[in-house]
């Protein structure tokens, strides 16, 4: 019997381990999936959510294997989940997270990081329990990656490289950004600093359009007061999803998964999409865009700034060095992927997966287990 018969989803890359944690007296139920550790101990987020299946946890862990390998990090991929409402009272949350971390004390191949429903305080509790956590509060040597804009910085670098493949310059390029949170607002900031013109932006409550350019600093200030980008006076207020139709040169999704799909991909009026959010464009829509000459830089190539920041923080690297490393890695990966797109005439996602998989397989060839692989043949 091969592995895929047992799990239904296992393949030649993993998962290496699936651990169920169940402590009825503590009300603790959780899962850890360590997918592949050939490149080093796996880094991946701890999610707190009411219900996540093992298969979904595996898919998220696999995405981290690809993202970490594509980013050139000496880390494999993993994901963990605690079943529960992330908005539960603080002391209950702390108790569960500490218990979960303690029960995984000996899983030395897994380094915790924050994800949906967990934050830097949760990572401080994990660090206190077992010592292995990234994404810590700055008091503990952490780098507040959403505050400093680590992912936005990487998005800017990927955009700069990709623009060249579209015969465009950032200076004067018209940009639209969907979602004005940590990823969206910092992408806007770095692009505007390089001369791009933000003509449209949205958040969960609405959108705003100004073909002469929006003031990025004013939008950032407005968001700090709890208002929507659509409340800005120097622009036309639009419905939230009208952001898809806004004509521009560069369109950046930085909000939710699957926002561009088979039903709305033809509404986009842009030359370049740089995926800031995770899986913002469905496979069908990516295919449609590729066939219509819209270049789409895949999420795990463009938005790796956050995980690069977390991995380097874990090694005690300073913030200035983190920014230069994100720039170097994201630029070089974007270039490699887009070169393969040009020379092999393949879609960007296929090129990105090839790049990541090549690195993972190479790392696997150095492992003891590769000596056993002839036994399968
Ligand atoms: P965030 O919560 O800080 O911001 C999300 C923004 O999207 C908010 O402005 C929210 O109002 C807006 N939004 C929500 N639904 C929307 C909708 N339907 N239409 C328009 N706007 C909408 O989140 P973030 O950290 O900026 O993350 C955004 C995405 O990027 C997520 O998919 C996340 O998984 C992914 N991502 C984040 C990082 C990171 O470093 N934060 C790294 C990699 C990937």
DSSP string across 301-345: HHTTHHHHHHHHHHTT--HHHHHHHHHHHHHHHHHHHHHHHHHH-
Q: Of the candidates 142, 165, 188, which is a domain's last residue?
A: 142
Q: Is 41 helix (H, G, I), strand (E, B) or coil?
A: coil
Q: Tokens 């796996």 label which residue? A: 42
Query: How many angstroms separate the alpha carbon of residue 259 from the centre of ligand 1?
Result: 12
Q: Could you tell me if 60 and 90 are in contact, meaning their C-beta atoms sit under 8 angstroms apart?
A: no
Q: What is the pLDDT of residue 2?
A: 55
CATH code of the domain covering residue 187: 3.40.50.720
Q: Of the candidates 88, 118, 142, which is a domain's last residue?
A: 142
User: What is the count of structural domains for the chain?
Assistant: 2
Tell me which residue has its CA closest to atom 15 in ligand 1. 204
131 with 167, same domain? no
**Side-chain half-sphere of 376: how many Cα atoms within 13 Å?**
9
* Domain ranges, residue 192: 150-344
Angle between helices 216-224 and 182-193 (to 10 degrees): 160
Cα separation, 76 vs 35, whole angstroms: 7
Residue 166 lies in a domain: yes
187 with 336, same domain? yes
Q: Is the pTM of this model over 0.75?
A: yes
Q: What is the pLDDT of residue 377?
A: 46
Beta strands 272-274 and 295-297: pairing type? parallel
DSSP state of 213: -
Cα separation, 30 vs 48, whole angstroms: 9
Residue 366 lies in a domain: no
Q: Left (φ > 0), alpha (ψ -120 to 50) or beta: where does 27 sit?
A: left
Ligand 1 nearest atom to the CA of residue 229, by list position: 9
127 with 159, same domain? no
Instruction: List phi, psi (to 5°) of 190.
Output: -70, -40
Supply 340's token pair.
């393969």
Residue 43 lies in a domain: yes
Q: What is the pLDDT of residue 372?
A: 77
> Is any ligand 1 atom within 6 A of the Cβ of residue 146?
yes
Q: What is the pLDDT of residue 170?
A: 98
Q: Tokens 């998964």 label which residue? A: 257
Beta-strand ranges (E) seen in the chain are: 17-23, 28-36, 42-49, 77-83, 110-114, 174-178, 197-203, 206-209, 236-238, 250-253, 272-274, 295-297
Residue 30 lies in a domain: yes
- Planar angle of CA 296, 163, 170, nearest 5 degrees: 130
Cα separation, 36 vs 293, whole angstroms: 34
- Note if 287 is an active site residue: no
> Is any ligand 1 atom within 6 A of the Cβ of residue 183?
yes
Cα separation, 360 vs 370, whole angstroms: 13
Supply 260's token pair.
């561009």
Query: How many angstroms separate the alpha carbon of residue 342 from the centre of ligand 1?
Result: 30
DSSP state of 131: S
pLDDT in tens, the chain (377 residues): 455 556 778 899 999 999 999 999 999 999 999 999 999 999 999 999 998 889 989 989 999 999 999 999 999 999 999 999 999 999 999 999 999 999 999 999 999 999 989 999 999 999 999 999 999 999 999 999 989 999 999 999 999 999 999 999 999 999 999 999 999 999 999 999 999 999 999 999 999 999 999 999 999 999 999 999 999 999 999 999 999 999 999 999 999 889 999 999 999 999 999 999 988 999 999 999 999 999 999 999 999 999 999 999 999 998 889 999 999 999 999 999 999 999 999 999 999 999 999 999 999 999 887 777 654 54
Query: How many angstroms separate the alpha carbon of residue 254 from the centre of ligand 1?
Result: 5
- Pick from 156, 177, 223, 254 the residue to mutate for probing ligand 1's pocket: most ligand atoms within 8 Å of its CB: 254
119 with 172, same domain? no
């Amino acid at each position: 019997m091969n592995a895929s018969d047992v799990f239904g989803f296992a393949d030649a890359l993993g998962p290496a381990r699936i651990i169920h944690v169940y402590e009825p007296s503590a009300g603790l139920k959780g899962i850890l999936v360590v997918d592949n550790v050939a490149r080093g101990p796996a880094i991946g987020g701890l999610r707190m959510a009411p219900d996540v299946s093992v298969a979904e946890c595996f898919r998220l862990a696999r995405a981290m294997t690809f993202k970490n390998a594509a980013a050139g990090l000496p880390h494999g991929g993993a994901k963990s989940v605690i079943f529960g409402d992330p908005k539960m009272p603080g002391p209950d949350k702390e108790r569960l997270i500490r218990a979960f971390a303690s029960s995984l004390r000996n899983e030395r191949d897994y380094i915790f990081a924050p994800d949906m429903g967990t934050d830097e305080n949760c990572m401080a509790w994990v660090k206190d329990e077992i010592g292995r956590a990234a994404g810590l509060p700055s008091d503990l040597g952490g780098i507040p990656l959403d505050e400093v804009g680590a992912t936005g910085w990487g998005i800017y670098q990927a955009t700069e490289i990709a623009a060249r493949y579209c015969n465009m310059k950032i200076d004067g390029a018209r940009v639209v950004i969907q979602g004005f949170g940590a990823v969206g607002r910092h992408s806007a900031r770095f692009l505007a600093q390089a001369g791009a013109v933000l003509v449209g932006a949205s958040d969960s409550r609405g959108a705003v359009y100004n073909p002469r350019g929006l003031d990025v600093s004013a939008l950032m200030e407005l968001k700090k007061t709890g208002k929507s980008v659509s409340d800005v006076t120097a622009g036309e207020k639009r419905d939230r999803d009208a952001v898809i139709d806004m004509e521009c040169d560069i369109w950046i999704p930085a909000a939710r998964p699957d926002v561009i799909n088979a039903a709305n991909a033809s509404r986009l009026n842009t030359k370049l999409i740089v995926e800031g959010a995770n899986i913002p464009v469905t496979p069908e829509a990516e295919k449609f865009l590729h066939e219509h000459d819209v270049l789409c830089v895949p999420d795990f190539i463009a938005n790796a700034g956050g995980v690069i920041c977390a991995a380097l923080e874990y090694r005690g690297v300073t913030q200035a060095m983190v920014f230069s490393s994100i720039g170097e890695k994201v630029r070089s990966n974007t270039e490699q992927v887009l070169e393969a797109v040009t020379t092999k005439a393949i879609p960007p996602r296929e090129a990105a997966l090839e790049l990541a998989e090549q690195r993972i397989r190479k790392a696997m060839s150095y492992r003891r287990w590769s000596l056993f692989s002839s036994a399968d043949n």
